[in-house]
Amino acid sequence: MSSSEELYKKLHQQNVRHRQDQNAWNELLKEKEGLLAETRSITNFRQYYTRWIKTEEGKAVKAKLFTTQNGQCFKCRGTLLGKGEDGSAIEHSEVHHLAPLALLQKYADAHPEVELSELQVFVTTELYLRLVHPKCNKQLGEMVGNLPDLNFLHDFIQEIR
Ligand SMILES: [Zn+2]
């Protein structure tokens, strides 16, 4: 094969991969837009999250959290490994929201001027999610995470107290 043929082949492969990525991305965007439209009509972050975590993106983020946290619970630092048949322990953990969903919901209801899409980032962005044991998740409950981005929720708690 001449080098120009090789180059052509390489470019073609890259092109195919790029197109596949593009298609996957478009699919994801469509899926997200649908979910977001639904969220806007019912203003329900919990439902939005439950749907999202089942999407490819949701699963990928959960898997990434598991790796980032070295398979340890964010609260008790205990191992999140369970006895999954396929060796995956991810299903034995829950996602804790540093911006608790119920509180976020209250905030959205109290601030109709705030765009839901601005709050939606706290529901599905890795930065604001942590993996924990189900029992640890219950203990954390409505605790707001210690991130400067979440100060608006700390303030909100003071307001509604
Ligand atoms: Zn734990």
pLDDT tens digits along 88-138: 555 578 999 999 999 999 999 889 889 888 999 999 999 999 999 999 999
**Are 84 and 70 a contacting pair, CB within 8 Å?**
no
Ligand 1 geometric centre to CA of 87 (Å): 19
> pTM of this prediction?
0.70
Model pLDDT, residue 137:
93
Ligand 1 geometric centre to CA of 82 (Å): 12
Ligand 1 geometric centre to CA of 65 (Å): 14
Q: Which of helix, strand or coil describes residue 114?
A: coil
Number of domains in the chain: 1
Which has more confidence, 138 or 41? 138
Q: Residues 8-38: pLDDT tens digits?
A: 777 777 776 667 777 777 777 777 776 666 5
On the question of pLDDT at 142 being above 90, the answer is no
Ligand 1 geometric centre to CA of 133 (Å): 4
Which structural domain range is residue 147 located in? Answer: 3-160
Model pLDDT, residue 37:
61
